[in-house]
Amino acid sequence: MSEHSFATRAIHAGQAPDPITGAIIPPIYQASTHVQDGIGGFREGFEYNRAGNPTRSSLETQLAALEGGVEALSFASGLAAEDALLRGILKPGDHVLLGNDVYGGTYRLLTKVLAPWGIETTTVELADAEAIRAAIRPETKIVWLETPSNPLLKIVDIAQIAEIAHAAGLTVVVDNTFASPALQQPLALGADLVVHSTTKYLGGHSDVLGGAVVFGDDRHFDQVKFQQFAVGAVSAPLDAWLTTRGIKTLAVRMRQHSENAQAIAEWAESRPEFADVFYPGLASHAGNEIAAKQMSGFGGMLSLGLSAGADAARAFAESTSLFQLAESLGGVESLIGYPPEMTHASVRGTALAVPENIVRLSVGIEDVSDLIADLEQGLERLAR
């Protein structure tokens, strides 16, 4: 499928019609085990659902094709994917360089779950090449980054970081959840591994939980595959099928998410109620030039800093209606959140603490005039 365009791969990779019935949509193999043709005689390699499932395999083929990888593994959640990757590659005493604006769950996993196991983590400004070089230790194994980052939409140069990291023999992991492979291809820019919360843009309909790791080469595949099998946090057949269904419309959805978010960001820049507008599609954004170079669109996520401070931000997050107050992101419907007490509560009081005046928007694919009107009425309620 590599010769086809992204939108075509999203629809057809791993999605051959059922050979028995001709069904255009592959079936959901809702089975826990597979009959063997004699001991060890696995049909198409399938033995037990934790080890492999045809529906999950179809999704993994699709994911690898979307990111331009050689293999992919599908998990029960984004954090399950991250945990398997980190435990598969690292050993006690190893060190991870982490961007200083990342999903709070990633920071919690590294500093609360893996730290007692002997993994050390340093947060660093990944836009600063010298800061990266200075933070690398002999025991450093991974540079982990998000671009755009969560929730401040920082942009870092993937190719530059890959060059620095590879010169030191390090592995580069990119969390591509915010951009999705429709807008950004980290492996083509030099990254070694890509992780996703497939719950977000890949699934796209707020109806499934999942995660993935995509491999640029086969160096780490066996270690992470072993973690998937041994620990067992795999995606269930129905979850894999729902994710596959969502991916088929990813290209067209991401265009609309990006168009709507751009319009809202430009509107927000004109409003005095917002001291800061964090969106890489704005010329005023510090990472705009790099984002334009390594992304084909700027995505559906943006954050706003309320001029009136933390209380105003909390109140604004509770003042909209089409933008519904909820965790998560990437669905067709618009969501609003207050990161300091929601998605990033786990980093309060740390170097990664989110400014208290920030709200985060996951801009959906509704009519953008309705979305802007909803934000305007939210500001009006705030002013009363």
Pick the more confident residue, 297 or 20.
297
**Judgement on whether residues 229 and 271 belong to the same structural domain of the protein:** no
CA distances to 86, 215, 342, 373 from 109, in Å: 10, 21, 16, 38
| Residue 106 structural domain | 6-247
**Judgement on whether residues 302 and 212 belong to the same structural domain of the protein:** no
94 pLDDT band (50/70/90 cuts)? Answer: very high
Give the Cβ contact number of residue 90 at 10 Å: 20
Note whether residue 1 is domain-resident. Answer: no
Query: pLDDT, tens digit, for every residue of 310-342?
Result: 999 999 999 999 999 999 999 999 999 999 999
For residue 341, the SS3 value is helix
**Judgement on whether residues 170 and 305 belong to the same structural domain of the protein:** no
In the chain, how many domains are there?
Answer: 2
Calculate the average pLDDT of the chain: 96
| pLDDT at residue 383, rounded to an integer | 86
Q: How far apart are CA 16 and CA 26, in angstroms?
A: 7
CATH number reported for the structural domain that contains residue 99 in this entry: 3.40.640.10
Local structure of residue 43 (DSSP, 8 states): B
Query: What is the rounded radius of gyration, in angstroms, for the C-alpha atoms of the chain?
Result: 21
Is 239 annotated as catalytic? no
Is 175 annotated as catalytic? yes
Q: How far apart are CA 268 and CA 288, in angstroms?
A: 17
**Judgement on whether residues 138 and 114 belong to the same structural domain of the protein:** yes
Q: The pTM is what?
A: 0.96
Q: How far apart are CA 132 and CA 193, in angstroms?
A: 19
**Judgement on whether residues 178 and 324 belong to the same structural domain of the protein:** no
CATH number reported for the structural domain that contains residue 302 in this entry: 3.90.1150.10
Relative to beta strand 171-175, strand 193-196 is parallel
* Percent of the chain at pLDDT exceeding 90: 95
User: Which member of 103, 107, 279, 338 is catalytic?
Assistant: 103
User: Which member of 175, 192, 239, 374 is catalytic?
Assistant: 175
CA distances to 50, 359, 365 from 369, in Å: 46, 20, 11
Residue 138 makes CB contacts below 8 A (sequence gap 6+) with none
**Judgement on whether residues 240 and 266 belong to the same structural domain of the protein:** no
Q: How far apart are CA 169 and CA 162, in angstroms?
A: 10
* Among 247, 279, 295, residue at a domain's last position: 247
Note whether residue 222 is domain-resident. Answer: yes
**Judgement on whether residues 239 and 265 belong to the same structural domain of the protein:** no
Query: pLDDT, tens digit, for every residue of 218-264?
Result: 999 999 999 999 999 999 999 999 999 999 999 999 999 999 999 99
**Judgement on whether residues 33 and 58 belong to the same structural domain of the protein:** yes
* Among 247, 265, 285, residue at a domain's last position: 247
Is 141 annotated as catalytic? no
Give the Cβ contact number of residue 120 at 10 Å: 16
Query: pLDDT, tens digit, for every residue of 203-223?
Result: 999 999 999 999 999 999 999
**Judgement on whether residues 196 and 326 belong to the same structural domain of the protein:** no
**Judgement on whether residues 243 and 259 belong to the same structural domain of the protein:** no
Query: pLDDT, tens digit, for every residue of 132-187?
Result: 999 999 999 999 999 999 999 999 999 999 999 999 999 999 999 999 999 999 99
Note whether residue 262 is domain-resident. Answer: yes
User: Which member of 200, 225, 253, 360 is catalytic?
Assistant: 200
| pLDDT at residue 2, rounded to an integer | 67
Residues 291-308: what's their mean pLDDT? Answer: 98
**Judgement on whether residues 260 and 219 belong to the same structural domain of the protein:** no
| pLDDT at residue 1, rounded to an integer | 62
* Among 227, 247, 267, residue at a domain's last position: 247
User: Which member of 50, 108, 245, 255 is catalytic?
Assistant: 50
CA distances to 35, 114, 231 from 54, in Å: 14, 32, 19
Amino acid at 89: I
Q: Is 38 exposed, middle or buried (0-12, 13-18, 19+ CB in 10 A)?
A: exposed
Long-range CB contacts for residues 110-114, cutoff 8 Å, separation at least 24 = 110/86, 112/346, 113/83, 114/86, 114/87, 114/90
271 pLDDT more than 70: yes
* Percent of the chain at pLDDT exceeding 70: 99
Query: pLDDT, tens digit, for every residue of 113-139?
Result: 999 999 999 999 999 999 999 999 999
Relative to beta strand 324-325, strand 335-337 is parallel
Q: How far apart are CA 113 and CA 186, in angstroms?
A: 27
Note whether residue 74 is domain-resident. Answer: yes
Is 50 annotated as catalytic? yes
**Judgement on whether residues 181 and 130 belong to the same structural domain of the protein:** yes
Relative to beta strand 120-124, strand 95-99 is parallel
